[in-house]
């Protein structure tokens, strides 16, 4: 996975989500005192989303069967029957 550095020195790591079914949801969560949903994408089977953590996004929630690839490894989300 690729990491970029912003002007303020903060690392912004990329991650990849590949959907195994239609309707996989990728939901971005905010930073700060209150964690809130701020962005959502819906992926269909075979679609790939390349995204990054930013000063606004501190976490991502995945709903559905998908492969999530990060510099830390590969994670299978959802029931992988």
What domains, with CATH codes, occur in the chain? 3-77 (2.60.40.50)
pLDDT at 59: 86
pTM for this prediction: 0.78
pLDDT at 35: 73
Confidence of residue 58 (pLDDT cuts 50, 70, 90): confident
Q: What is the mean pLDDT of residues 30-34?
A: 76
Whole-angstrom distance, CA of residue 70 vs CA of residue 16: 7
Coil, helix or strand at residue 40 = strand
pLDDT above 60 (res 52): yes
């Amino acid at each position: 996975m690729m990491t970029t550095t912003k002007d303020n020195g903060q690392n912004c790591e990329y991650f990849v989500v590949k959907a195994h079914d239609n309707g996989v949801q990728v939901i971005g969560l905010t930073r700060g005192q209150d964690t809130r949903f701020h962005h959502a994408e819906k992926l269909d089977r075979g679609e790939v989303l390349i995204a990054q953590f930013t000063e606004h996004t501190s976490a991502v929630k995945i709903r559905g069967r998908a492969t999530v690839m990060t510099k830390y490894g590969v994670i299978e989300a959802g029931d992988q029957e």
